[in-house]
Amino acid sequence: MKSLRLTAAGATLLLAALAGTTPASADAPTAAGILQTGAQQGVADGYPGVVGLVRQGDTTQYVHAGTGNLASGAPADPQAQFRIGSNTKAFTSTVLLQLEAEHKLSLDDTVARWLPGAVNANGYDGSKITIRELLNHTSGLPDYAGLPQYSGPYVLDLNANQAYPPQSLVDAALASAPASVTPGTSWSYANTNYVLAGMVITAVTGNSPATEIENRIIKPLGLTHTSFPTSDPNLYGNYLHGYVHPVTFYTNDVTVSNVQLYNAAGAMVSTLDDLAAFGRALLTGQLLPPAQEAELKTTVPMNNTGNAYYGLGIMREKLPCGQWVWGHNGAVIGYVSAWFSSEDGTKEVVEANNEFHMLTGTTGQNDTGTALANAYCAL
């Protein structure tokens, strides 16, 4: 049995899920059928609801199981909004790549170039860390998200309106452990990197990351059900309710939850369709010119298996069936989601669940993650 550990919107979810996948056989069910079976198994495992999307070319199929609202019992709706957690990171990195294309910055600029003094404590030095190293998680900076002062109140959803100034999160991360890794030498996932990336966006443009993402990505792509809340902890319109179960020993509705703790690292809200549209646009050059597209897809190893690599806000994985995919995942209290896409955007699978209690390796995560991978392999 896999051991459980506290995490926050980490890439470990996808890696754990892939460990149990098997290649699709010639007589296997359809991709949508595999994803549907996985959704039903996820509900059997304890998820309130699971929704999913399979897209091949211009043909889209949806799956769902369970409920999107335990109080009303309404079926989980594949068109509903949910919190996307660290899938936000691809949006943030896209803005910085666009700014580079506009010659407003270089990804090889140091953090100190744009944020003097922001990283300058406990042996950490912003003049030795580049923006690129923030985006591919090779900065060597520690993560603030698992620190007790944040993880406890967050998972218990004690104050959805608590303000978390970005610099305070960075300061807490720096104070948590002395510098021990030379920037650029190894991969280690840290939300701190993307909090700083959001701060760079503000320093360069004078606008918040939310404003830049809205103007540069959401509006141009017509992602009408995608948003970047910056203070309001509520969801509106058609949405999946999010839940926490094992931590409090009863099912707690955490739909209304803090968005300031993750900000440019994980605060966004979207839908299956909008995530698929964004992923396709990002991978096929609709958002970035060729030079920046190449940077987006330049990867570093996430481990020593040769099967997992990280680009700039996106991951590249080799599935057990032998196919390579681009994608990412996101996890914040109440929600887990992930997407896979082919290089040309013609094959996509997206899935979301509405329970997350900040622990990885659960049966539900493994079963729905396996279905996600096997569904893609069946396309």
**Mind telling me the catalytic residues?**
86
Best CA proximity match to 60, nearest among 286, 217, 275: 275
What whole-number distance in Å separates Cα of residue 183 and Cα of residue 154?
Answer: 29
Torsion of CA 358, 189, 257, 273, to 10 degrees: -100
Closest CA relative to residue 330, chosen from 89, 156, 35, 96: 89
Distance CA 337, CA 82 (A): 9
Sign of the C-alpha dihedral, residues 280, 315, 285, 134?
positive
Query: What whole-number distance in Å separates Cα of residue 129 and Cα of residue 133?
Result: 6
> Which amino acid belongs to residue 161?
N
List the structure tokens of 23.
């290649």
